[in-house]
Amino acid sequence: MPNQGFMMLHALFGILGILFAVALFVDVLNAHEGNYRRIKKLSSAVAILIVLAFLIGGYWYVAYYGADREIIKAGKWPWAHNYFMEVKEHIFFSLLLLSIYLPIAVHGVMPLNNTKKKNLILGICALIILLGLFMEGAGGIISKGVIMGLGR
Amino acid sequence: MNNSDMGKYAAGFGLSLVVTVLLNAVILVIKEISTPFMSAMKAALGHHWTTHGALLIIVFIVLGCLFSATRIEDKLDSGKLLKYTFWAVFISVVIIAGFFLPGLNVAATIKY
């Protein structure tokens, strides 16, 4: 049961991180003095949520994934581990570093009074969103790989 | 004179991000092709992935502090940093996704 709980929390914090990054993207597109505080708060929230997703997912991966890996590799979708988990677990580091850097960048370029500064934050948000969506998709494929391995 | 539109930490940690993202792909390739390196990473913190992550976070923080102390913000503006970050992530993703492509042997696993 803790196995499933950790997995659900990992996916939940990941999705929330992506959604907050989308909200930040929109806020930066419409940046003005009135929403600078919210932009700073959103950037910190993205970092916290992705770090939580990383820590919980990392713990689950090290503590529980071994059994699932054997089921996937013996099943009909071994590539769910051989490709998607291998790629996911390593690209996650880039997502983590981008997310940790996001609030540093936001605080460092304030006020967002020119296009170059806005584009930096928008670009980082876009990378976080795209990598995050890949993480969610790959996670779904890996879960389906376990189901296929169990023959359900 | 400060020519930058960024603070020193945004510039320093931005450049550190670029280096660390690329280093991620380099460490991956080395550990996957070198058994002694993989064994050393497993031995260090009990799991190669844990060591990999810890190493990247330490490098990111150390390089970020070092770059921030070297007035890197005078040479780097937010436009350049975005370009470097995008290419670093793109190259890293291509290396990682490409390295594991042989694992995506879907056709061989389909039961006809």
Centroid of chain to Cα B20: 3
Of A1-15, A21-35, A132-146, B94-108, the one with minimum mean pLDDT is B94-108
Contacts of A40 in chain B (CB under 8 A): none
Q: What is the per-residue pLDDT across A85-127, written as a single tens digit (0 to 9) for each?
A: 999 999 999 999 999 999 999 999 999 989 999 999 999 999 9
Q: Would you say residue B102 has pLDDT above 50?
A: yes
Say how many domains are in chain B: 1
Q: CA dist B7 to A111, A151, B71, B75, B93, Å?
A: 11, 55, 10, 12, 28
Percent of chain B predicted with pLDDT > 70: 90
Q: How far is A93 from chain B (nearest CA, A)?
A: 7
- pLDDT at res. B59: 98
Contact (CB<8Å) A94/B10: no
A20: its two tokens: 């907050």
Mean pLDDT for B83-97 is: 97
Measured on CA atoms in the order A113, B18, A46, A20, is the torsion positive or negative? positive
Residue B30's contacts (CB-CB under 8 Å, 6 or more residues apart) are: B37
Centroid of chain to Cα B88: 8
Give domain status of residue B1, yes or no: no
CATH label of the domain that carries residue A58: 1.20.1420
Cα–Cα dist B31/A51, whole Å: 24
Q: How far is A134 from chain B (nearest CA, A)?
A: 11
Say how many domains are in chain A: 1
Q: Would you say residue B50 has pLDDT above 60?
A: yes
Contacts of B53 in chain A (CB under 8 A): 54, 58, 93, 96
Q: What is the ipTM of this complex?
A: 0.92
Q: Would you say residue A67 has pLDDT above 70?
A: yes
The beta-carbon neighbor of A79 closest among B8, B28, B105 is: B105
- pLDDT at res. B1: 43
Contact (CB<8Å) B79/A120: yes
As a whole number of Å, the CA-based R_g of chain A is 18
Give domain status of residue B16, yes or no: yes
Measured on CA atoms in the order B76, B78, B81, B83, is the torsion positive or negative? negative
B74: confidence class by pLDDT, cuts 50, 70, 90: confident
Residue A113's contacts (CB-CB under 8 Å, 6 or more residues apart) are: none
Q: Which of B3, B18, B21, B112 to mutate to test the interface with A (most CBs of A within 10 A)?
A: B21
- pLDDT at res. B8: 94
Taking a C-beta distance cutoff of 8 angstroms, is the pair A117, B78 a contact?
Answer: yes
- pLDDT at res. B4: 64
Which residue of chain B has the CA closest to A103? Answer: B10
Q: Would you say residue B108 has pLDDT above 70?
A: no
Which residue of chain A has the CA closest to B31? Answer: A90
Name the residue range of residue A62's domain.
2-149
Q: CA dist B87 to A97, A131, B83, B94, Å?
A: 15, 14, 6, 10
Give domain status of residue B2, yes or no: no
Name the residue range of residue B55's domain.
8-109
Q: How far is A1 from chain B (nearest CA, A)?
A: 23
Percent of chain A predicted with pLDDT > 70: 99
Taking a C-beta distance cutoff of 8 angstroms, is the pair A39, A27 a contact?
Answer: yes
B33: its two tokens: 């092709």
pTM value > 0.90: yes
B110: confidence class by pLDDT, cuts 50, 70, 90: low
Q: Which of A90, A79, A87 is nearest to A149 (CA)?
A: A79
